[in-house]
Amino acid sequence: MPEDVLTDAAPRLIALDWGTSSLRAYLMGEGGAVLETHRLPLGIMHVEGRDFAGASERAVGDWRRRWPGLPALAAGMIGSAQGWVEAPYVPCPAGLAELAGGLMPVPGGALSIIPGVVQHGDVPNVMRGEETQILGALPSHGDGRFVMPGTHSKWVEVTGGRIERFGTHMTGELFAVLRRHSILGRFVGEDDPPSSAEVARAAFERGVEALRDAPSGLSPLLFSARSLVLTGGLPREASLDYLSGLLIGDELRAGLHEMRDSLALVGDPALCERYRQALAIFGVTAVELLGDTAAAGLWRIAEAAGLTGAGLETNP
């Protein structure tokens, strides 16, 4: 179902933020205004038989029938080797021109996919989708350092409007693995009620502080997410919040070693707020919360590629 009410503004673009677990579709008007939004649990790992054309039809078919000539642009894992069509990475430094110039059309021409970004070197790194969010964040923040919390968190440095370098921290995936496949997740079941906000925050902050002050890093501390409960030092329902604090604290200690000043947080607002709390424990308070900037980035890249200029007629 649509989340926003469609206005009388003329649509200019169908934009898809298509990741591993979910698909968000935006009908966009002049200046990048979001006119309507569809959200579906149709990430690339949840599309049966790799029927990406069918998934696209479910997400935006009604828009295509009403505006058959509307251009469409997608970002994210849909352009990976496991996606619809692989969009080759562009190398760092990469900005608006490189991303707009590297669009990969899906056969039939109904959709173009934004390439990811690769950082070459002894320890190479890649991103897909985050580059689009960065481009969406730049008009409000400008150059600087961006932290993008998530399954694979990114720490990105931007100079002259171009992604210069970045690092990846598998914080979210490590938390999921430890919760579901280790003894550290045994205290809290999937269906158990969460701890109170006050208890959860205290446990999370305790985990961040423990990691911040630990000379030996994360590994010797992980088992304390269990031993503290067993010895009465931590409520069992708060053990995962404490574990989250340890893992995010470890990410911050590593990331802040290279990037400390003028940070901007990009992504899910609730997760960004948790990172802001953790950063404050590390003494970093000059932090801007930018939220989700994917739609803005999709519009900027589409505009640079010349996809948004023509008006389109509406079918009756």
161 and 61 assigned to the same domain: yes
222 shares its domain with 277: yes
Q: Are residues 177 and 159 in the same domain?
A: no
Number of neighbouring beta carbons within 10 Å of residue 151: 14
Evaluate whether 41 touches 34 at the Cβ level (below 8 Å). no
Q: How confident is the model over 164-203, as pLDDT tens digits?
A: 999 999 999 999 999 999 999 999 877 777 789 999 999 9
165 in the same domain as 107: yes
The residue segments making up the domain with residue 43 are 11-169+294-304
Whether residue 209 sits in one domain with residue 161? no
Cβ–Cβ under 8 Å, residues 34 and 281: no
Name residue, tokens 């190479």: 124
pLDDT in tens, 16-37: 999 999 999 999 999 999 999 9
Residue with tokens 């069509």: 85
Torsion of the alpha carbons at 120, 94, 170 and 282, rounded to the nearest 10: 110
The answer as to whether 203 is a domain residue is yes
Contact, 99 vs 87, CB < 8 A?
no
Chain position carrying tokens 């010895």: 231
Task: Tell me how far apart the alpha carbons of residues 311 and 32 are, in angstroms, rounded to a whole number.
Answer: 14
Give the pTM: 0.90
Verify that 134 and 177 share a domain, yes or no.
no
Residue 3: pLDDT band (50, 70, 90) is very low
- Per-residue pLDDT of 48-96, as tens digits, reads 999 999 999 999 999 999 999 899 999 999 999 999 999 999 999 999 9
At how many degrees (to 10) do helices 269-281 and 239-256 cross? 70
Q: If you search the block for the tokens 């790992």, which residue do you land on? A: 45
Alpha carbon distance 131, 134 (integer Å): 5
Residue indicated by tokens 């600087």: 144
Residues 197 and 240 in one domain: yes
**Whose CA is closest to 163, among 198, 199, 190, 136?**
136
Is the residue at 311 inside a domain? no
Q: What does DSSP assign to residue 102?
A: T
The confidence score (pLDDT) of residue 72 equals 97
pLDDT at 259: 63
Specify the number of domains making up the chain.
Answer: 2
Contacts of 4 (CB under 8 A, 6+ apart): 34, 35, 36, 37
Can you tell me which residue has the tokens 């630990």?
214
